[in-house]
Every structure is written in C-alpha cells, then in structure tokens.
C-alpha cells in the first residue's frame, strides 16, 4: 500500500508516516523504482500462511485422515502457500461443536484455510464460512470443488439424514433408515 494509505490506516498524518519510515519503524517498507514508499499490507501477506484442515467422520477412517492431510499439505505447497499448521479431526460434518476447528477459527496466525472438499469443513452452510472468513481478511481454498451440484446436494442430504437418524435411533439402525429415507425421496433402489 502507499504511504498515504498507511497513514490513514494508522490514524496519523502523512508527515508522521514519513518520519516513521525514515526511522525504520515500518517493518518491510521500501522505496520502489519510482521513488514512492511502499508499505506491505499484513492482511495480504497473511493469505500465504495456510492451515490445512482434514476431517473424517469416524475413528475407523483414521488412516484416511492422515492421507487426506498429506494430500492437502502437498496441494497447498504446490499453490505457493506456506503451511503453518495441519489440523486433523474426527467428527461429524454436521456437528458444530468440533473443538479443533473452533480453535483454528479463533486463531489469527493464518490467512488461508485449505480443505479437500466442502463437506470436510461442514455439511451445511459452507458459504457462511466463506463470507465470515472474508470479513476477517481470510479465505478458504477447496481442492476438489464439486462439479455436479445435484450430487453434492444429494450427498449433503444423505449425510444430514444419517446424522439425525444416528442421534435418534443409535448408530446401528441409522444406516438402514437413511437408505430407506433417501429411497423414499429419490425413488432410487436401496442397496
């Protein structure tokens, strides 16, 4: 950003900002080819610092969790992001009481959240995450955006029905009840 923008942001005069720059009190500020003082924007710099978030639904998928985290770390590095942390969590995508995700969202040491699929972050309300993080100067990068909205919606619908059936009837009967419910809505064969 220009020195004048920096001054406005800091609530000081341009002269005050100039004096700070001359004394070396603006970290990273430099004189460009045209003779203007350029101050790096910390928000923009922070976007290069990424947190990889990997999630699976059950402890049985623990090995999948490790592979997912490794894939996303490689993906982030290939995009030029610096991975500052890898967070792995076991829990339902519908559950809004995930301790590790909450901790990540409360931290300020990152600018980009990297997930493999939207549903690894949340089954419902993904766009709310995008909007709220953007308000904080952060962003979400999804490695595999779903091309087929219908299949994405059906996967979300199925996982929500499964989650509620598991809560109501216990885990044993949830899978069969979910299949019957999806069959009733879509007319697909239950297999």
Q: For the CA atoms of 170, 171, 176, 178, what is the dihedral angle to 10 degrees?
A: 80
- pLDDT tens profile 42-67: 666 688 899 999 999 888 888 899 99
Whether residue 163 lies in the annotated active site: no
Which is higher by pLDDT, 117 or 184? Answer: 117
Assess whether pLDDT exceeds 70 at residue 148. no
Is it the case that residue 188 has pLDDT exceeding 70? no
Task: Write the Ramachandran bin of 35: left for phi over 0, alpha for psi from -120 to 50, otherwise beta.
Answer: left
pTM of the complete model beyond 0.95: no
pLDDT at 44: 67
Per-residue pLDDT tens for 95-147?
778 899 999 999 988 999 999 998 898 877 888 999 999 888 899 999 987 65
Which position among 4, 57, 151, 159 bears the catalytic label? 57
Domains of the chain: 3-40 (no CATH), 45-142 (3.40.50.1390), 150-186 (no CATH)
pLDDT at 189 over 60: no
Give Cα separations from 20 to 3, 28, 149, 152 (angstroms).
10, 12, 52, 52
As a whole-number percent, the residues of the chain with pLDDT over 90 amount to 39
Which are the contacts of 100, defined by CB distance < 8 A and separation ≥ 6? 87, 88, 89
Q: Between residues 54 and 156, which one has the greater pLDDT? A: 54
């Amino acid at each position: 950003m220009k020195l004048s923008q920096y001054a406005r942001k800091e609530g000081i005069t341009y002269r005050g900002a100039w004096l700070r720059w001359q004394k070396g009190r603006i970290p990273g500020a430099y004189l460009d080819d045209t003779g203007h003082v350029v101050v790096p924007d910390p928000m923009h710099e922070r976007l290069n610092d990424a947190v990889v978030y990997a999630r699976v639904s059950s402890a049985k998928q623990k090995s999948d969790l490790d592979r997912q985290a490794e894939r996303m770390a490689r993906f982030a590095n290939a995009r030029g992001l610096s991975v500052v942390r890898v967070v792995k969590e076991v829990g339902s995508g519908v559950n809004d009481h995930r301790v590790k995700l909450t901790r990540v969202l409360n931290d300020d040491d990152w600018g980009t959240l990297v997930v493999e699929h939207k549903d690894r972050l949340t089954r419902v309300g993904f766009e709310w995450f995008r909007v709220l993080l953007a308000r904080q100067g952060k962003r979400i990068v999804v490695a595999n955006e779903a091309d087929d909205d219908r299949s994405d919606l059906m996967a979300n619908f199925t996982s929500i029905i499964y989650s509620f059936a598991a809560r109501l009837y216990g885990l044993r009967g949830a899978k069969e009840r979910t299949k019957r419910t999806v069959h009733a809505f879509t007319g697909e064969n239950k297999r």
